[in-house]
């Protein structure tokens, strides 16, 4: 039986002190790495934050709304290509490029969702995959998008008075941008919309029977999820100073799903924890062996057997176990 809370959007929200501790730790992280002479890990930290945003965007649709999408790489790629195309035309202002990327990805998500959400189960999974592959083949077949080579960025997006070329400055820019996105996710979680979305996931037929617009709720959630994934794609394109069709492949969508599963589908910090686990595992173990996927498989096996709802559910399971141990002696000593 699953131990995931029935309303993870509300019950799984972090307390203020937890959020403050996470922000402080993330803010001090690059300073510690710089002081230790490990500047490479500053860039890795930026990648973790960006992929945490992408995984959390998928988590909004998958964990909270029950929509298992295998095509979220399409929105990641749309955001990245939007920034790259604008840069080719001389538009480097982050204040324009990032909103355009978010809007383009949200529009793509709306159009795909409008069709895909009329299906259910495996059909929904396959149609989102099909749409993502359409975007992938468009990217590799159109010369203006660079074909297989993708599009390079001559420079990162610009903010007046702030140089984003350095890894340290760019990290804090990513932290600020991703932080705003997580605030949006938090507000969604605490809203009536968030509660209704969870209720639709739990019992769609009952929600429809009492008058909730189930289709519209899911479409709005899917659109918001796509827009946030597009923001992650725009930041990733800036981090890599370019974008390639690989960003649009189904393999990339699978990685996002793995991150959500690792962290915990339906938990607020699930995307962040899952992205950190996946990327740290990839970077650390791949330095010693090219078979790092074996260790990833073992970790996934452990998660499936010990914590089917992800790492974030371990705390709840341990708490329940400790509560049972406290109750048992009390029962034994009772007259």
Q: Which structural domains are found in the chain, ordered by start?
A: 8-333 (1.10.3470)
Comparing CA positions, the residue from 153, 135, 156 lying closest to residue 245 is 135
Per-residue pLDDT of the chain (335 residues), as tens digits, is: 344 444 444 445 667 788 889 999 999 999 999 899 888 899 999 999 999 999 999 999 999 999 999 999 999 999 999 999 999 988 989 999 999 999 999 999 999 999 999 998 899 999 999 999 999 999 999 888 888 889 998 889 998 878 788 899 999 999 999 999 999 999 998 889 999 999 999 999 999 999 999 999 999 999 999 999 999 999 999 999 999 999 999 999 999 999 999 998 889 899 999 999 999 888 878 777 777 888 888 888 888 888 778 888 876 666 565 556 655 554 454 44
Residues listed for the chain: 335
- pLDDT on residue 319: 57
Comparing CA positions, the residue from 218, 223, 220 lying closest to residue 204 is 218
- Structure token digits, residue 31: 């300073």
Q: Name the 3-class secondary structure at 151.
A: strand
Cβ burial of 278 (10 Å; 0-12, 13-18, 19+) is buried
- The Cα 158–Cα 94 span in angstroms is 5
- The Cα 104–Cα 248 span in angstroms is 15
- pLDDT on residue 328: 54
Q: Name the 3-class secondary structure at 186.
A: helix
- Structure token digits, residue 19: 């959020």
- The Cα 174–Cα 169 span in angstroms is 9
**What number of other Cβ atoms are within 10 A of residue 293's Cβ?**
13
Q: Where are the alpha helices (DSSP H) in 249-311?
A: 250-263, 270-286, 292-306
Beta-carbon contacts of 49 under 8 Å, excluding residues fewer than 6 positions away, are 26, 171, 174, 175, 178
């Amino acid at each position: 039986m699953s131990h995931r809370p029935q309303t993870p959007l509300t019950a799984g929200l972090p307390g203020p002190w937890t959020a403050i501790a996470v922000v402080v730790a993330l803010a001090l992280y690059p300073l510690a790495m710089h002081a230790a002479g490990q500047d490479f890990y500053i860039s890795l930290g930026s990648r973790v934050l960006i992929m945490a945003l992408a995984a959390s965007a998928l988590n909004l649709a998958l964990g909270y709304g029950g929509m298992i999408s295998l095509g979220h790489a399409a929105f990641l790629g749309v955001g990245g290509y939007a920034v790259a195309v604008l840069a080719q035309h001389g538009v480097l202002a982050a204040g324009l490029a990032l909103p355009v990327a978010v809007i383009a990805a949200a529009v793509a998500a709306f159009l795909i969702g409008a069709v895909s959400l009329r299906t259910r189960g495996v059909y929904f999974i396959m149609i989102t995959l099909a749409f993502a592959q359409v975007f992938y083949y468009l990217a590799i077949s159109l010369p203006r998008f660079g074909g297989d080579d993708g599009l390079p960025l001559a420079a990162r997006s610009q903010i007046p008075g702030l140089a984003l070329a350095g890894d340290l400055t760019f990290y804090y820019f990513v932290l600020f941008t991703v932080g705003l996105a997580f605030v949006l996710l938090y507000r969604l979680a605490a809203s009536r919309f968030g509660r209704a979305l969870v209720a639709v996931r739990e019992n769609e037929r009952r929600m429809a029977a009492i008058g909730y617009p189930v289709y519209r709720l899911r479409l709005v959630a899917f659109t918001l999820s796509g827009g946030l994934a597009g923001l992650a794609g725009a930041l990733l394109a800036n981090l890599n100073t370019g974008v390639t069709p690989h960003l649009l492949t189904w393999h990339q969508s699978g990685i996002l799903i793995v991150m959500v599963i690792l962290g915990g589908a339906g938990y607020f910090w699930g995307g962040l924890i899952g992205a950190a686990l996946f990327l740290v595992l990839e970077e650390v173990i791949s330095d010693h062996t090219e078979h790092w996927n074996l260790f990833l498989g073992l970790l996934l096996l452990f998660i499936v057997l010990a914590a089917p709802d992800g790492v974030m559910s371990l705390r709840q399971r341990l708490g329940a176990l400790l509560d049972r141990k406290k109750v048992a002696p009390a029962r034994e000593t009772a007259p």
